[in-house]
Amino acid sequence: MESNKLLKSLGIGIIVFMALNFILQLVSAAVDGNLTPWFESLDNAYSILYALFGYVVNTPTIAILNAGVPSIAPLEILAYVVFPIMAAVIAAIITGRFAEEKSTAFVAWFFVALISGIILFIGVIIEIEGDFSVLSNMDYIMFLGFPMIVGFAYSFIAIFSSETSVF
């Protein structure tokens, strides 16, 4: 019975996270005026997978660096900092609501983030055609370590949004 709840919340969490990633990246491209180049960039496996799971490796620190600190505009803050956080928070809340139990909510969201990072890493492996010598240690940290951090950090939101009470 417990595994059914876990699989249900995991599946729904991945679908919601994918949809939010795609929609919010689409909105970011539209706000920046780069909608056509964004669609044209979806020409390889990694780009498509990044459009579906990319916010799992986009921490707020990296987002601020991408936005350019000296010339950061309010719309860039929204696109690069708030959207990745918003995608993870909303997906964690929905995952927690479908998990129904706090432990299941924690595990389900953690696995959503971890699976998202692994799928992105598979996209990288496809792009480099299996030549692991071009990968640095930071690549491994970014695609496998950041999702674990995101999974752990936002899993507490999933816990608090689950239906069961601690008392």
Instruction: Provide the CA 83 distance to its chain's centre, in angstroms.
Output: 10
With tokens 């799992």, the residue in question is 56
Q: What is the pLDDT of residue 1?
A: 42
Q: Give Cα separations from 119 to 34, 83, 99, 129, 166 (angstroms).
A: 25, 20, 22, 15, 34
pLDDT of residue 30: 85
Residue 62: the pLDDT is 61
For residue 61, count other CB atoms closer than 10 A to its CB.
9
pLDDT means over runs of 10, the chain (167 residues): 80 95 89 86 89 82 58 68 88 90 90 92 84 80 86 90 69
pTM (2 d.p.) = 0.85
Give pLDDT, residue 108. Answer: 92
Nearest to 115 by CA among 18, 3, 8: 18
The structural domains of the chain, with segments of one domain joined by +, span: 2-161
Q: Hey, what are 150's tokens?
A: 């995101």
Query: What is the model's pLDDT at position 65?
Result: 62
